[in-house]
Chains A and B, each alone.
Chain A
């Protein structure tokens, strides 16, 4: 199975699917807009280079930001600021305070930030510095749309330097949060600390090959994609950096703070300046300092970064590295199961695109989202990916917010209320099993790496109950004590369903299922090809009409009430019952 370009209008089913996977879900108006576009046209609405970064969070104690300017005694304490940062990020996923025309691209960028966070993971308890977390989060944002990302040369006649995923890997190697998280700051000449070097190879770049297949390991310490030698030599290459507690060292490419060198002035005297040799897995590449970047034969920041560049180049020269990154993308946006056939087809195709586009991520995503394989595949239902991902707690919460147009309080103008409401969101996703910025292990949240179950791990009895409970509470328009704006079921129906159609109870149930559930291209009563069974639809119909048992002839009574506007209280309660039943269902856990 290889990629087959899709050159026709998306239609409603594919449009809704694309929007669920990229922007957590959508309003019906957005689905309708996308339905009339080809994938290429649709993607221009998702990738926008011109977006500004969101303004940083506000500390209610001071009324101003602290990420850029730093804290004083007047600020809230660190753990609270850290929590504000997390809530701020969740707020950005709902669209922050963007204008309508950029909103989808804005949210998609946050989804990519989330993806990069699941890849280059971190733990807040280890980093223990909310500014470092914020700047790392910003770094991911800078690299989210990377197709046209470049460094403008000082001389306009020179060719700009392209920035790509490899550049991001290099930035991450010396990122303050990462230097803390995986002990890079302790890795010095003569006393290497291998923690980061190992995870760089195993998790962030070369990977471990296709899970569940033979790795062709040929000798002791060989993992098929890298070896123990590469870990040890890599630690030396990466040595000599330290966390910059003042965030005063700025990376000219990104304008963001980065780690500092250990040493005196320009001399990186804790960097191991010897020649390093990688294993046969990287063609025995030799990494040596560039003499032009040394000062008096001694290492400098530039020479150390140049060695990292050489190292990253060597890692990405191995095709398996591109495949590892593309498997991550496929699992995050497509489906978790990668058979040998998919690996030889789709994954290899994506990897070729990744390599051919100079290791930029955006072209890979564009190709994937514009291929038939991202949607219904070629034949039957076997290669269909609709509804194949169990939503993460964030997908569920943000997706629900998107569909019901939930608006959080303004995070700049009304930070106190914003934090109260978003605290409820944050706490809810933790209760559902996603301890945000605190994955249990250094490989990150297990849903994104644990073979063979992947995101099936999101579902346990307890977590499922928490999911149902969340939807139910928020449907009432409250987040704990804080009222939030969102469409009540009756408002939703008025806005998104044809008035006459809604007067027929069965048609209404079928249409709401089509709009809210992921496998719903054909849903109707009395139809063998309906993707929800007759019994299942009857269950929803009963939930809708029979909860109060006040009507002798419930379907007819609904039509009369709806058409004539009788007894609006009963109408809204009945619709509430229907939406509860649909949203608190296994089907709604899938996207």
Chain B
């Protein structure tokens, strides 16, 4: 193809979609003919990795309730209030055992609501042996899927994609009828190690932030002609092996692959519709001005739109920065406010909107989101209203099919760092197996090179099993009923009074109505609900003998019970 045509195509493709979304995007994937036979992914499930750059302070995202006093004493200058204050931690789940109970940062209200719907999970103490305190090395380890002393130049997703599409090899055999789309897409201009292959280019393109301008520039570029000559710049063969040739191959390979994918991305984007729901854009409270804008909304909206258009890309990487909170993680006069608070809000609110957007498009059961951050932070705070680099941290998962819950328990707060309860590769092995349907033996032999389905810690003791995806076919009903339910009235038959036990996983107000057999409302009342169990006593001495109904409505509760008055 002549250069000019290539660049023009690119311009047309780039112009429309990204003018609307304004998000630079990268196409990444990879290659390499494989020797081992592997099993293709047989489903159309999608994984979104949400990268939190800088090391999230998970102990202020998920606050231990049972050991709150110790939590407070280790980090008084940044501790989220519990028993008093305008904004206090949000107890997540009253059905958990006491030592496992956690409170959410007050800006994670949307996380709470997803959790209550059975759409969110959190794993405590996710780490790996000899956790590395370097941002860069730590990130590389999580992306490559290795041990602290491994130096793979490929990432775990890159290896998975290799295997999933064998015997087709990237880039030569792509795109093809089976897989017309980029294997993975990364938001932004980076090309992260997670998508790399051994010794190969991550086929990456970026479309930048000002597509209109880009289009103009391409239109106006001069000097490209097609005359049966070499418009691209292939070096002569005798330069094979030189560094110059390697760098030229990099540039040329990138140009070639970009060309084919961009048109396709544009088609999908245009064939899809805008989100029908509004994503959060600005943090609703006071915060440093450059922290207020929600950096995830645009990225997730774009992912949702491409998925709505039928893109077959398996893995997306979205990013939020600014977690390296050595100083001013919280406001000195209000520990619930500040930079970290905005991050908690941005993630919770954007993910909730994303789930709803996917649901409206009818594809919310096809998408799983998992967070990653290079390390957790220290248990004790420092003197600058911040925290230094630590080790273990929490990982969140979101999705309709996720096995919801809190896994693992709160960290031992007498230590300096959050200790390991799960190896991060247990979660990734679980995702590949439960979500993408990759055989365990393949994961063990060719992706993580170890068996994380029977994982052990450094001392050889077994780590708890991990189950990423819920078995429940009927959705989240059981999950809800465990946390939101109403007992039968007792005594029943009743004379002077009857009583109901209401379990709710959030504080709120219940509306109670007594109806006769025709459905006429005899009496209405309101009762405050605690988180957990609330006993409601109802006076019945004014009712005549006969059959009645008790109707109870509250958030996540809509029940009607029979009541006999004798």
Binding site for B on A (CB under 8 A): 125, 182-183, 186-188, 190-195, 198, 202, 208, 211-215, 217, 219-223, 228, 231, 335, 337, 380-382, 384-390, 431, 433, 440-443, 446, 449-453, 456-457, 459-466, 468-469, 472, 518-519, 528-533, 535-536, 538-539, 542-543, 546-547, 577, 580-581, 584-587, 589-590
Contacts and interface: CB of A to CB of B under 8 A. Distances in A.
B233 A587 contact: yes
Q: Counting chain B CB atoms within 10 Å of each CB, which of A125, A451, A539 scores highest?
A: A539
Interface string B525-541: 00000000000000000
A461 B10 contact: yes
7 contacts: A220-B129, A384-B243, A461-B206, A465-B221, A466-B208, A536-B229, A581-B224
A351 to B, nearest CB: 21
Interface stretch (B148-156, B296-304, B551-559): B148-156
Given A211-B151, A519-B239, A446 B190 contact: yes
Interface in B223-260: 223-225, 227, 229-236, 238-248, 250-252, 254-255, 258
A339 to B, nearest CB: 11
Contacts, number: 233
Contact of A186 (B208, B250, B324, B383): B383
B255 A577 contact: no
A461 B254 contact: yes
Given A186-B384, A208-B134, A461-B254, A533 B207 contact: no
Interface stretch (B135-143, B444-452, B500-508): B135-143
Given A539-B227, A547-B225, A456 B383 contact: no
B433 interface: no
Contacts of B218: 465
Contacts of A446: 190
A459 B251 contact: yes
Contacts of B14: 462
B234 A533 contact: yes
Contacts of A223: 132, 134, 137
Contacts of A472: 220-222
Contact of B238 (A182, A529, A547): A529
B321 interface: yes
Given A441-B135, A538-B230, A580-B222, A465 B217 contact: yes
Nearest to B53: A441
Given A193-B382, A542-B225, A462 B232 contact: no
Nearest to A535: B230
Nearest to A182: B326
A542 B229 contact: yes
B324 A442 contact: yes
Q: Counting chain A CB atoms within 10 Å of each CB, which of B153, B204, B233, B262 scores highest?
A: B233
B135 A577 contact: no
B327 interface: yes
B26 interface: yes
Given A217-B148, A460-B26, A531-B236, A388 B247 contact: yes
A531 B239 contact: yes
A188 B223 contact: no
B134 A453 contact: no
A460 B254 contact: yes
Contacts of A190: 383
B327 A387 contact: no
A381 B7 contact: no
Given A228-B133, A384-B243, A456-B250, A535 B229 contact: yes
B145 interface: no
Nearest to A228: B133
B255 A469 contact: no
Nearest to B150: A214
Given A380-B241, A452-B153, A231 B53 contact: no
Contacts of A231: 133
Contact of A460 (B189, B233, B244, B389): B189
Contacts of A584: 221, 223-224
A379 to B, nearest CB: 11
A548 to B, nearest CB: 11
B207 A461 contact: yes
A453 B191 contact: yes
A577 B245 CA distance: 26
B238 A469 contact: no
Given A460-B254, A581-B224, 12 more contacts: A182-B326, A208-B136, A228-B133, A384-B243, A388-B244, A463-B189, A519-B235, A531-B236, A542-B225, A542-B227, A587-B233, A590-B247
Q: Counting chain A CB atoms within 10 Å of each CB, which of B133, B196, B234, B244 scores highest?
A: B244
B207 A539 contact: no
Contacts of B324: 195, 442
Nearest to B154: A452
A381 B148 contact: no
Nearest to B54: A441
B294 to A, nearest CB: 19
Contact of B235 (A208, A533, A546): A533
B250 A590 contact: no
Contacts of B295: none
Contacts of B236: 528, 530-533
- Shortest beta-carbon contacts, A-B, top 4: A191-B383, A388-B243, A580-B223, A462-B208
Interface in B157-192: 189-191
A191 B206 contact: no
A463 B247 CA distance: 16
Contact of A125 (B214, B231, B290): B290
Q: Counting chain B CB atoms within 10 Å of each CB, which of A217, A460, A464 scores highest?
A: A460
Contact of B243 (A192, A193, A337, A440): A337
Contact of A193 (B133, B140, B221, B326): B326
Contacts of B125: none
Contacts of B220: 469, 472
Contacts of B326: 182-183, 186, 193-195
A530 B234 CA distance: 13
B205 interface: yes
B130 interface: yes
Contacts of A213: 151
B24 interface: yes
B388 interface: yes
A538 B226 CA distance: 11
A472 B388 CA distance: 48
B106 interface: no
B247 A460 contact: no
B206 A539 contact: no
B74 to A, nearest CB: 14
B386 A193 contact: yes
B250 A459 contact: yes
A457 B191 contact: yes
Nearest to B13: A461
Interface string B379-407: 00011101011000000000000000000
A536 to B, nearest CB: 5
A23 to B, nearest CB: 21
B235 A186 contact: no
Contacts of B247: 387-390, 456, 590
Contacts of B214: 462, 465
B409 to A, nearest CB: 22
Contacts of B258: 461
Contacts of B222: 472, 547, 577, 580
Contacts of A194: 326, 382, 388-389
A527 to B, nearest CB: 10
Nearest to B140: A451
Contacts of B229: 535-536, 538-539, 542
B244 A386 contact: yes
A212 B198 CA distance: 12
A202 B134 contact: yes
Contacts of A589: 251
A195 B388 contact: yes
B244 A519 contact: yes
Contacts of B204: 460
Nearest to A389: B247
